[in-house]
Structure formats: structure tokens, C-alpha cells
Amino acid sequence: MSLLRRSKVPKWNIRFNSNIANQHVFTSKTIGKDISTHQLLQDLGYINQPSTGLIHWLPLGLKVLHKVEGIIRKRMDEVGGEEFSLSSLSGKELWEKTGRWNNTELFKLKIGSGNDDFDKTRENFCLTPTHEEEITNILKNSQINYKNLPILTYQISRKYRYEKRPRGGLLRGREFLMKDAYSFDKSAEEAMEMYENLNNTYLKIFKDLKIPFLSANADSGDIGGSLSKEWHYIHESGEDVLHKCSECERVSNSELTISYPNEDTPPAKEADVRYMLNENKDTLICAYFPKDRKFMPNFIKDEIDDLDLSTLNLSFEEIYKQFKGEEEEDEDILVLKKFIRIMDPRINHQTNLPDFPISKFQKNNFSTLTDLSIVESKTGEICGDCESGFLESMNAIEVGHTFYLGTRYSNPLNAKFTNQDNKQQLFEMGCYGIGISRIVAAIATVTRDSEGLIWPSSISPYDVSLIEAPKSTRENIDEVVSILKNDDISISFDKRSLNKVGFGSKMINSRMLGFPLIIIIGSKFPIVEIEIRGKRWNNAEDYEYKSLFDQYASNWGWEIQNDKVEKHFVHKDHVSKVIKSLLKDL
């Protein structure tokens, strides 16, 4: 029996080691062309999708996820973060106090006296999307005094969102991995310092990840607070739109980007109109803007404080009814009412305007604003902030968001510390999120090419893919493996026999998996071939390997070929040093 089970061919000297993979069993044998990145990640065995919006992380994908986690944890520790791990289930009491219980994206469920009396009205817990409420409550109950502050807490854990129609795979799922951090300070001033520190930490994190990114001034949305920054990767598939000024270099999302048409732009031919009321319902606001542009009602709110944005959703009939007064029979009442016409600067007297729907009005009660831009910015328009540069618009994938919160949560939860005068005072807070699973998907999307994935070395599952070319021997491969292993270079090695899977297929497969370097061992041994699969993210002048090459090329038998792909040839004894210098740029 034991004789039968002993293989005739000597076994590879490659034993299991978490730094060496010799099979990727979840990688499909055939992979379609032109598939989405989400499908590519599945076909290559990085992830598995058991049902819409849910993800199983397979060994390859989990290695990427863990590397992103590692980068973030290191930088959060550096800035003084203390790691927590809060329960994924949170009771509704705290969420009712902060007014977030009715958020429709909250993943609610019921925990109670048995599983068997389900009742919507008794949903009393949620699977947490973030943890402002719980962490603030912990600090509230911890008798914190001013000497303990600032406190920066963070955690890396699964979060949940009740997406009715989840899409985009990892980018918009029901369960996702996130780093969320919360800061507690003595004063608004120190909380702002903390916010700046954390933005600086985010800069470092994104630089560590190597892929070009943008941070944008943004709206705070449901999280609350008064100041926030979004962190993005630029990609045409992104759901967000960012605008960057050529002059002042300000980057902001559409909600915060006001723009003006440049001089060369002809006025719009056709205008569209939207009607709204103020809160007293005695002023009709009529907003005219080019028919082909996206209307941004928030920009009006900045100018007209008492604008009732909710009236935007009403039909004109309903608006008219409220404007006239529901019980009022006589249309003459309208001559007492006020009208504000907002004419987006992209329209003028040459533009066709829709008919004005009301005939009874007094000209004296009519005012017109012509300087207020009320549409989403477009590439080539003038920056509303510096009023001199030109804006460039681009789609982007949001992967992080930093917020200065002030007392948005400490106030409703009554979370206080003891100040220097021995009085109770509300915490000044900030919160800071990064979507870890989202970063993996975004980087895969931004970097992939027609041949497959391309991971930056910072988060690649393995440093190199090792390939046996015809005429290599097992001894040669074992020797290179043990050299790389000693130098802590992680290796993916396809152990399938060349008789079964040809060299060409193995190369295609390696490129597809996207590790930064492919090491080929063939007939030129002890010269080893290194093919560059990764991308370089810095300037050609700064490449790390260049000075090494200038110094040692002849001693190390190091040559470079630049055909379709860049290849390095080097003697096995120096291969680790060359690999490490190449990885720094990839």
C-alpha cells in the first residue's frame, strides 16, 4: 500500500508554506474575454459570490484584503489609534436618540423572546453600518476626564447595509469590510487638528497603496457634521463625479462644485424649468437651466435660506394649490405673492424658455437672479471657487470619507467628559471611514488591463509568479525557490506538469492573476528571467532599480530587454536583490 502511494517522480521540494502557493484550485480553467472586473475576480478565484450583495473571500482575495488591512492598521497605530472590535449587532435605543433608526439602508432585525414571533413593529436591533452611537455611548460611560483626551478609536470589521438592489459586486454589497475610526477631543479647535491629522494619515495610507488617488471636499450626508473629505480613485465606471480646478487645484464632488460657463460657450438653446416654494409658501421660485444639464437644487438653497427643497418633488398643480392657498377661491390673491426667477448663467435672451404658467402677478413682486449657477459642472467650465481656473470633471470610485462631526453625536447621546474646571462638557468628535473590500475592488478595476489583473506590490497576494519553462530542471527550480524563500519573497508556483499545461498557458494564467513579477526558469539557468507584469506608478527618473543597475549590471550578469514587455535577466545569486528593487516601483 505505502509503495503504491509513493509517487515514482521525485516530489517537488516545495512543501506547503503560507508564503508559497503551489495550486490555486479556485481559479477557473477558462476565463471569458471582456468580462467585468467583478466577474474576473470570481473567475480567478479571488472571491465567490453566494448571492447578490454577499461575498465569500477565497484564499487569494483574502491575502489582498489582509494586506490592505495591514497598511491601514499600521498607519492608524502610528497616529495613536487604539483598536476596538464592537459587536455587529446594535440595539435601536441609541439610534433613535441620534435620529438614524429610520434610515432605510439600516439592516434591521429582531432579537427577542424567541425566533418564532416575528413582527416588523418589533424590530429592535440592526446589523451595524457604522458605530458612532455605540462608541460614543462607551465613552460616555467611561468617566473620561480632560487628561485622557484626545482618544482615537478604530476598528476593522464587517459592516452591513440594507441595499434593496445590491449591484457592482464588492462596490455596493450588503456586507463589506470597513475600517471605521472615531475621535474624541476637548474642543472644536483640537477636534479640527485631529481631523487634519487623520486626513494626513489617509494621505499616507493611499500613498502606501501606490495607486493615484484624489481627495475631494464633500457633503456630510446622513453621517452629519459640518466638514468632510471624500477619498477617491478616478475611473470611468465610478458612480461619483469629481471636479478639479486647473488653477486653484481644489477638488470637490458635484454637490460642492459651483462653476460658470467659459466665454466660448454659446448660450443654451432650450431651457428647462423647475418650480419650488419657500417655507411660508408665499414665494414661487422658478429655476431655469439648460435642458441638457443636471439641475443642482442645493446650490439654490445656499442663496435662498428659506427654500423648501421638499416641494421639488411635487407636481406643478400641487405647488400651485399650496402657493395660492388651498381654501382660496380667487386667483386674484396671486397679485400679492412674490416670484423669484433664477436664470442659470448658461441661458440668456436667445434661449427658448418654457411658458410661464401663471398669468396673474405684479411685476413689482418679481425678482430675477442671473449669477447663480444651478447645474452640475462640466469639463472646461470656470471654477466657481477661484473664478479663474478651468474645471475638469471625472468619474470616480469613493473608497474613504473623513468627517469633522463636532457634537453631532455627543449632543443627542449626552456624552460628556470632565473638563479642567471639573465641569461636564460634550465631546468634540470626528469619524473616519475606509472601505477595505471596496479598495480591493476599486484597485482591481482601476489597474486591470486586457490580460487580467495587475496588483500593486503593496497588496499583491504574492510577490512573484514562478514558471517552469521547457528544459528547466526540478533542481534548478528548487534552488531558486529556496533562494527566494530565504529572502522572504512570496511565491506562487504552478506545479502542474508542462505535459498537461503548456508554458504558453502558464504565462497567460500568471499574467491574469496579476502578481507584479513573473520569474521564468528555463534553459538559460543560472540566468533567471524576470518579466514585469505590474505597472510603475512613479516617474521613470525615480525608478529604484536604476542606480542598482548602473552599479552592478556587469557583476550580476544583469541585462534588460524592452520588447513588448520589460524583461530582466540576472544570475540566480542576485535575483532576490533585483526582485526587491523592482518591486519597490510596482
CB 450 within 8 A of CB 176: no
In the complex, the smallest distance separating the C-beta of residue 87 from a second copy, rounded to whole angstroms, is 4
In the complex, the smallest distance separating the C-beta of residue 411 from a second copy, rounded to whole angstroms, is 20
Binding site for a second copy (CB under 8 A): 16-18, 23, 25-26, 29, 45, 48, 50-51, 54-59, 62, 65, 77, 80, 82-91, 104, 106-111, 113-120, 123, 134, 137-138, 142-144, 148, 151, 158, 162, 164, 174-175
Q: Closer to a second copy by CB, 440 or 578: give it.
A: 440
C-alpha dist (Å) from residue 138 to 158, 225, 404: 20, 20, 20
Instruction: State which H helix or E strand residue 191 sits in.
Output: helix 188-209
Q: Closer to a second copy by CB, 89 or 333: give it.
A: 89
Residue 314 dihedral angles phi and psi, to the nearest 5°: -90, 155
Q: Closer to a second copy by CB, 143 or 313: give it.
A: 143
Q: Closer to a second copy by CB, 208 or 240: give it.
A: 208
Give the type of residue at 305.
D
In the complex, the smallest distance separating the C-beta of residue 92 from a second copy, rounded to whole angstroms, is 11
Q: Closer to a second copy by CB, 83 or 96: give it.
A: 83
Q: Closer to a second copy by CB, 58 or 382: give it.
A: 58
526: preceding bond cis by omega (within 30 degrees): yes
Q: Closer to a second copy by CB, 50 or 266: give it.
A: 50
In the complex, the smallest distance separating the C-beta of residue 343 from a second copy, rounded to whole angstroms, is 41
List residues bridging with 216 in a β-sheet.
Answer: 230
In angstroms, the CA 269 to CA 271 distance is: 7
| Residue 228, phi-psi category: left (phi > 0), alpha (psi -120 to 50), beta (remainder) | beta
In the complex, the smallest distance separating the C-beta of residue 238 from a second copy, rounded to whole angstroms, is 25
Pull the grid cell for residue 473. 530542471
Q: Closer to a second copy by CB, 393 or 490: give it.
A: 490
Cα angle 438-440-441, degrees, rounded to a multiple of 5: 65
Cα angle 356-357-358, degrees, rounded to a multiple of 5: 100
Q: Closer to a second copy by CB, 120 or 349: give it.
A: 120
In the complex, the smallest distance separating the C-beta of residue 488 from a second copy, rounded to whole angstroms, is 15
Helix/strand/coil for 131: coil
Q: Where are the alpha helices (DSSP H) in 107-157?
A: 132-140
In angstroms, the CA 452 to CA 512 distance is: 4
List residues bridging with 33 in a β-sheet.
Answer: none
In the complex, the smallest distance separating the C-beta of residue 99 from a second copy, rounded to whole angstroms, is 18
In the complex, the smallest distance separating the C-beta of residue 22 from a second copy, rounded to whole angstroms, is 11
- How does DSSP assign 491-555, residue by residue? EEE--S-TTTS-HHHHHHHHHHHT-SEEEEE-TTTTEEEEEE-S---S-GGG-THHHHHHHHHHH
With CA atoms as reference, report the closest residue to 256 among 234, 267, 273, 241. 241
Buried (b) or exposed (e) across 90-103, using 16+ Cβ within 10 A? bebebbebbebbee
The separation between the first and the last C-alpha atoms of the chain, rounded to the nearest angstrom, is 49
Strands 214-218 and 175-185: unpaired
Q: Closer to a second copy by CB, 111 or 309: give it.
A: 111
In the complex, the smallest distance separating the C-beta of residue 487 from a second copy, rounded to whole angstroms, is 19
With CA atoms as reference, report the closest residue to 194 among 155, 159, 135, 154. 154
In the complex, the smallest distance separating the C-beta of residue 62 from a second copy, rounded to whole angstroms, is 5
Q: Closer to a second copy by CB, 18 or 486: give it.
A: 18
In the complex, the smallest distance separating the C-beta of residue 503 from a second copy, rounded to whole angstroms, is 19
